[in-house]
Amino acid sequence: MSIISKDIQKAVHLLTNDDVVAIPTETVYGLAGNIFSETAITRIFSTKKRPFFNPLIVHISSIDALQNIVTHVPEKAKLLATAFWPGSMTLVLKKHATIPDLITAGKDTVAVRIPNHPLTLQLLEQLTFPLAAPSANPFGSISPTTAIHVEQYFKNDIKMVLDGGSCSKGIESTIIGFENDEPIIYRLGALALEEIEAVIGKVVIKNKKEQNLDAPGMLARHYAPKTQTFLVDDVVHETKKHLGKKIGVLVFHQSKCDDFCIEVVLSDKASLQEAAANLYSAMHHLDHQNLDVIIAERFPEKGLGISINDRLQRATVAL
Ligand code: TXA
Ligand code: MG
């Protein structure tokens, strides 16, 4: 029997009883549990095989609820929250004493966001507690952007995926932390850098693991297909190095190869938004074609292209 369902009341029931439920957001599907339930949170980590040093994002449904989660909101964080919530931005702020260490991996900060998905906002409004939700994929693998992706990963492990359709943004939220009240981008994501800078001015980016020990989840290899993947400027040139192999190709807007490879064009109309929304689905699709290699085309380094290149880069790191 399928674990996919649109029944919000069922999700409320499971979550209220210390169980986990996969939930839709506009970025990717999350694997959610009550932040105050040790049973639920432990189950999230064990289902994902995620190490406990990697903290979780807390999901709330209103800016008012923020005061129960954090003790201090810098001016620029207020501006960002007002501009972009509900939306694809996570803020890392000083945590309230009541937030369990299991959520924050013992850190004195907590990551929090208001997701922009009608079903999940309805769900959060019916619950008496916030939801911790990492992306609903096994640790390190491609994030899910449909209920079916989650079912393929976890049908034997969880009871329910709340079906909210395909994620409209398709890559994870942009994570912003603060040092001395000044913003720092810990993870590039679905909210483009330019949009953030239009509200608060220039921000520092520490998106690489070696730059930022404060964001323990920023692994070199992440969001990765099982198939060996390359990221290149010239796809045609790279395919010639792999003649005789079964090749998958992932390109931005223009078809680059004939019938000798399986190709996905991410956005015919060259929209970075559309390409981001289709990225993980395309990676899931190619990863199920029994290919020898996947060759991905590097995106223009602007807007969401920067975030897409970040994900593709992490997908190419060998195990
Ligand atoms: O779009 C998203 O953010 C999705 C949806 C479900 O909301 N969630 C998501 O969660 O991507 P996850 O667990 O896959 O990624 C959370 C990231 C990790 O890299 C983690 O290290 C970082 O957030 N993080 C969480 N708490 C943190 C903290 N206190 N300080 C620094 N980084 C933190
Ligand atoms: Mg993740």
Distance 134 CA to ligand 2 centre (A): 6
Query: Does ligand 1 have an atom closer than 6 angstroms to the CB of 188?
Result: no
Is residue 135 within 6 Å of ligand 1 at its C-beta? yes
Q: How far apart are CA 57 and CA 133, in angstroms?
A: 6
The per-residue pLDDT for 222 is 80
**155 Cβ neighbours under 8 A, 6+ residues apart:** 2, 3
Q: Return the ligand 1 atom nearest residue 95 CA.
A: 29
**Cα dist. 236→111, 244, 246, 263, 272 in Å?**
41, 14, 14, 12, 21
> Which residues have a beta carbon within 5 Å of ligand 2, which is an ion?
135
57 alpha carbon, closest ligand: 1
10 lines ligand 1 (CB under 6 A): no
Residue of 45, 108, 143, 175 to mutate, ligand 1, most atoms within 8 A of C-beta:
175
Give me the mean pLDDT over the 123-132 stretch.
Answer: 98
- 3-class SS at 76? helix
Report the predicted TM-score, pTM, of the whole model to 2 decimal places: 0.96
Same fold, 4-205 and 229-315: no
Which mutation among 49, 90, 108, 314 tests ligand 1's pocket best, with the greatest number of atoms within 8 A of CB?
90
- Ligand in nearest proximity to the CA of 28: 1
List the domain boundaries for the chain: 4-205, 229-315
Q: Are 130 and 69 in contact (CB under 8 A)?
A: yes
Q: What are the φ/ψ torsions at residue 239 (nearest 5 degrees)?
A: -60, -35
What's the CA-to-centroid distance between 289 and ligand 2, angstroms? Answer: 23
Query: Given this model, what pLDDT does residue 260 score?
Result: 80
* pLDDT tens string 8-46: 999 999 999 999 999 999 999 999 999 999 999 999 999
Using a pLDDT cut of 70, give the percent of the chain over it.
Answer: 96
CATH topology of domain 4-205: DHBP synthase (3.90.870)
Q: At the topology level of CATH, where does 229-315 sit? A: Rossmann fold (3.40.50)
Q: Phi then psi for 83, rounded to 5 degrees?
A: -75, -40
pLDDT in tens, 137-190: 999 899 999 999 999 999 999 999 999 999 999 999 999 999 999 999 999 999
